[in-house]
Amino acid sequence: MLKYIVRRLILTVPILLGLSILVFLFVRALPGGPAIALLGERATQESVEQIEEELGLDRPLPVQYLSYLRNILSGDLGSSVSTRRPIVDELKQRFPATFELAAMAMLFAVAAGIPLGYVAAKRYQGVLDNVSLVASLIGISFPVFFLALLMKYVFAVKLGWLPTVGRIDVTRSLEHPTGFYLLDAIIAGDGEAFVDVLEHLIMPAIALGTIPLAIVARITRAAVLDVLGEDYVRTAKAKGLDPSVVDRRHVLRNAMLPVVTVIGLQTGLLLTGAVLTETVFSFPGLGSWILNAIRFRDYAVIQGGILFFAGMFIVVNLLVDISYAFLNPRIRYR
């Protein structure tokens, strides 16, 4: 098992290297180049050359790449043009926000999706099965931003039950040692703040989690139906095991294999979905950050952000593969 994990970890190195090359070239392939982006369209030739020399852009590409790589490895992603703050600092602040949001969204999707799919499969072709099929179809086809706006209108504007924007009430003072507000509230022992942060998370998490919920439910249903027809389930019944044991040990454990893969892929995709959700709810996470960077042509932020997103995607995939190996003994030693 350890060997497998180490091998997978080593495999991520070339992926990350390739990724850094792509991001590096992407920025340099943009029309005008970084100097123009920094100085604007009407910059003089002189000032462009001066900036290029300052940034080392007049050197050969491989040399530039190596110094860029050295900077990344030492934890320096450059600075934002618009805020002048180091990108690493911004990441430290915004990543916890998106992480919290994505985790809540996935929690919602998994906690509701797996039981729904399971029940639908057990009541195959019954009323509940059909209802959940239609509902999940609607869930998948519903645009995230529209659902977000709709919820905001109903629950925040009309009913006034939930806050509309941000991560926390602006008037509340809470220390942020970790940047994960829920965790911060627990550390501070501030129950009210915890509830406040949670209330701010509910709508964005539901909006973001709806599509994964529908997908998780459908995959769970299909997987459980598949496994219910397997010979080893019949064997388990022939042993006289209680139905709950048959379902837990024999049906669900096998059905979880495809579900885990889908959960992993969806978690990766949540990061993209976060762009829309965070914008609608003015949630100060990575999504809204990158959106603003694109709006202001803040290339250093885009570059750093893409690298970070891609890195996250790789980490999530790695985690999925490792958990898959835990669940499925057949691939462990291959």
Residue type, 231: D
CB of 8 to other proteins, least distance (A): 20
Using rule CB under 8 A, residue 327 touches other proteins: yes
- Is the CB of 91 or the CB of 236 nearer to other proteins? 236
Question: How far apart are CB 151 and other proteins at their closest, in Å?
Answer: 39
Whole-number minimum distance, CB 20 to other proteins, in Å? 38
Give the range of 41-49, 51-59, 166-174, 225-233 binding other proteins by CB under 8 A: 225-233
The nearer residue to other proteins, 221 or 250, going by C-beta atoms, is 250
> Which CB, 254 or 277, lies closer to other proteins?
254
Residue ranges in 123-228 assigned as alpha helix (H): 127-141, 144-151, 181-188, 191-228
User: Does residue number 161 form part of the binding site for other proteins (CB under 8 A)?
Assistant: no
Whether the CA torsion 111, 116, 121, 122 is positive or negative: it is: positive
Our finding on whether 328 is near other proteins (CB under 8 A) is yes
Q: In the window 1-30, what residues touch other proteins (CB under 8 A)?
A: none
Q: Does 85 bind other proteins (CB under 8 A)?
A: no
Which residues, 230 to 289, sit near other proteins by CB under 8 A?
230-232, 234-242, 245, 249-250, 253-254, 257
Q: Does 291 bind other proteins (CB under 8 A)?
A: no
Q: How far apart are CA 151 and CA 146, in angstroms?
A: 9
Q: Angle, to 10 degrees, between the axis of helix 87-122 and the axis of helix 286-295?
A: 120
- Could you tell me the CA-to-CA distances from 97 to 82, 180, 232 in Å, in that order? 21, 6, 44
DSSP line for 228-244: HTSHHHHHHHHTT--HH
Total residues contacting other proteins (rule CB under 8 A)? Answer: 22
Minimum gap (Å) between residue 321 Cβ and other proteins: 16
- DSSP conformation class of 58: T
Q: How far apart are CA 332 and CA 334, in angstroms?
A: 6
C-alpha–C-alpha distance, residues 304 and 50, integer Å: 24
Q: Which of 75-83, 96-104, 132-140, 321-329 is the region at the interface with other proteins (rule: CB under 8 A)?
A: 321-329
Instruction: Report the C-alpha gap between 225 and 235 in whole angstroms.
Output: 16
- CB of 241 vs other proteins, minimal distance in Å: 6
* Cα gap 244→23, rounded to integer Å: 51
The greatest distance separating any two alpha carbons of the chain, rounded to the nearest whole angstrom, comes to 85
Q: Which is nearer to other proteins, 42 or 334 (CB)?
A: 334
CA distance 330 to 334: 8
Q: Which is nearer to other proteins, 168 or 228 (by Cβ)?
A: 228
Closest by CA position to 222, among listed 249, 262, 193, 188: 262
Q: Tell me whether residue 20 or residue 254 sits nearer to other proteins (CB atom).
A: 254
DSSP state of 271: H
127-156 residues in contact with other proteins (CB under 8 A) are none
Q: Residue 249 is encoded by which pair of tokens?
A: 């040990």
Site residues, other proteins (CB under 8 A): 230-232, 234-242, 245, 249-250, 253-254, 257, 327-330
